[in-house]
Amino acid sequence: MNEKTDYLILDGDCGLCNQIAIFIEKYRNKDKKLTYLSIKSEHGKKIIAHLSTKMQSADSVYLVRNNKTYIRSAAGIRILLYLKWYCKIWYPVCWIFPLPLRDIIYRIIAKNRHKFFSKPEVCLFPMD
C-alpha cells in the first residue's frame, strides 16, 4: 500500500458508486490525492485482505485515509474532506447524526442501489 495515497474502494458494477466517483472528481480539491479502486481489482482485494475479518465481510465502500480504513457512512462522510471548500463544510454537520443511524441509512441505500441505478457500461475503476 502506498503510504502517500488514499484509496476509495467501490463496487465497480454499481451505478450509484459510479455516479459518486464522477461527483467526487467534479468537485474534488485537486491538491487532495485519492485513487479509486474496484472491490474486484487485485489491488482492492489485497487492501481488503489486510483488514479485520469484520471489515472484510462488510460488503461496503472502503476509504483508506492516512493508512486507516473506514467503511459505510464513516467512509462516506470522510470523502467530503477531499472536496472543495463549499462541499467540505458539510463534514461537521454530518457528524451530528450518530453512527448507528447513519449506518442504517447507508445499509438501506446500499441494499436498494441496484434497483435505482443501472450498472455502468464501463467501469471507471481500475481492475488491475
The pLDDT tens digits of the residues spanning 89-120 come to 999 999 999 999 999 999 998 888 878 877 77
Where residue 126 falls among pLDDT bands split at 50, 70, 90? low
Between 31-35, 79-83, 90-94, the lowest mean confidence (pLDDT) is in 31-35
- Per-residue pLDDT at 40: 87
- Per-residue pLDDT at 66: 92
128 versus 19: which is more confidently predicted?
Answer: 19
The pLDDT tens digits of the residues spanning 45-74 come to 999 999 999 998 887 899 999 999 999 999
The pLDDT tens digits of the residues spanning 38-51 come to 888 899 999 999 99
Where residue 4 falls among pLDDT bands split at 50, 70, 90? confident
- Per-residue pLDDT at 101: 96
27 versus 14: which is more confidently predicted?
Answer: 27
91: nearest Cα among 104, 112, 75, 107: 75
Q: Is 67 left (phi over 0), alpha (psi -120 to 50) or beta?
A: left
51: CB partners within 8 A, 6+ apart: 62, 69
112: CB partners within 8 A, 6+ apart: none
